[in-house]
């Protein structure tokens, strides 16, 4: 089934479209990280109280860490783009003929020649902003981000991580029967992974079912590995809490 181009364009044109990836990937990591901890603790047969402490500590620490990492990554990328744009303005001001030659080479590679090439060259180089834009994309291969606030992206990532990551802890936090806690957590996690994974289609445009199932497999593998490690640690080191 093909994506609706009109729908896709609407998503791109809204502010919401700028934050979809932060929400989706923050939520994915939140669910997987928390349930991996729960699985490891369950494998080591730790008490529900210990699982709650470990889970909440991970939610806060990893959520903040992921949000700050996203903030720093975006800030660094924007600073680099700003620096390169300033460099291009400097070169246009101080070496205009050399920069025009570079634009001419770009247009030639596009297949333009003769009068058409000269007309296009003149139009592009009359406007310094447009001139810099084409040098950024075509010479440097830099497609600048349309980002309003790195801090906002980081905060949204942290919020999505914590909210989604709290779901596997719900049966432990709200007094579900101890014998059913892990099963309920497993079910809630599986549903959450599939739903959040399917939501990646807003970013990737891939199949909804396939995206959800892929995330379910990835999360399931991580949880199984954590459960196995917990069981091995308990068996080898005799951990009982």
Confidence bin at 218 (pLDDT 50/70/90): confident
Backbone phi, then psi, for 177, in 5-degree steps?
Answer: -45, 130
Determine the pLDDT at residue 240: 52
- Among 145, 134, 58, which residue's Cα sits nearest to residue 100? 134
**Least confident range of 34-38, 128-132, 162-166, 221-225:** 221-225
Rounded distance, CA 70 to CA 153, Å? 7
Determine the pLDDT at residue 146: 76
The b/e string for 209-234 (b: 16+ C-beta within 10 A; e otherwise) is eebbebbbeebbebbeebbeebbeeb
Residue 6 has pLDDT above 50, yes or no: no
**Could you tell me which residues come within 8 angstroms of residue 8 by beta carbon, excluding any fewer than 6 positions away?**
205
* CB contact at 8 A, 224 and 40: no
Confidence bin at 66 (pLDDT 50/70/90): very high
Determine the pLDDT at residue 4: 47
Residue 17 has pLDDT above 70, yes or no: no
**Least confident range of 128-132, 176-180, 224-228, 233-237:** 233-237
239 against 209, higher pLDDT:
209
Confidence bin at 239 (pLDDT 50/70/90): low
Averaged confidence pLDDT in the chain: 83
Q: 150-165 and 16-43 are packed helices; what angle lies between their axes, rounded to 10 degrees? A: 40
Rounded distance, CA 95 to CA 89, Å? 10
Determine the pLDDT at residue 155: 94
Residue with tokens 């399917």: 198
- Among 162, 186, 144, 143, which residue's Cα sits nearest to residue 22? 162
- Among 105, 97, 104, 103, which residue's Cα sits nearest to residue 133? 103
Residue 13 has pLDDT above 70, yes or no: no
For the four alpha carbons of 54, 59, 62 and 68, in that order, the dihedral sign comes to negative
């Amino acid at each position: 089934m093909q994506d609706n181009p009109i729908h896709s364009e609407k998503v791109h044109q809204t502010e919401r479209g700028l934050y979809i990836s932060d929400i989706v990937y923050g939520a994915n990591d939140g669910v997987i990280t928390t349930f991996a901890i729960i699985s490891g603790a369950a494998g080591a047969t730790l008490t529900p109280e210990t699982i709650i402490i470990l889970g909440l500590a991970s939610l806060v620490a990893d959520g903040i860490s992921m949000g700050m990492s996203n903030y720093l990554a975006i800030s660094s990328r924007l600073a680099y783009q700003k620096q390169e744009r300033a460099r291009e303005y400097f070169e246009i001001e101080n070496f205009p003929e050399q920069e025009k030659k570079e634009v001419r080479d770009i247009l030639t590679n596009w297949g333009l020649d003769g009068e058409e090439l000269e007309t296009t060259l003149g139009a592009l180089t009359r406007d310094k902003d447009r001139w810099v834009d084409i040098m950024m994309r075509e010479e440097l291969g830099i497609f600048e981000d349309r980002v309003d606030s790195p801090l906002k992206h980081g905060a949204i990532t942290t919020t999505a991580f914590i909210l989604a990551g709290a779901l596997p802890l719900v049966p432990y936090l709200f007094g579900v029967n101890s014998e059913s806690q892990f099963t309920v957590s497993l079910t809630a996690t599986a549903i959450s992974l599939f739903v959040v994974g399917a939501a990646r289609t807003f970013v990737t445009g891939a199949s909804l079912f396939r995206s959800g199932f892929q995330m379910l497999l990835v999360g399931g593998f991580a949880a199984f590995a954590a459960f196995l490690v917990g069981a091995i640690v308990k068996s080898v080191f005799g951990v009982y809490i």
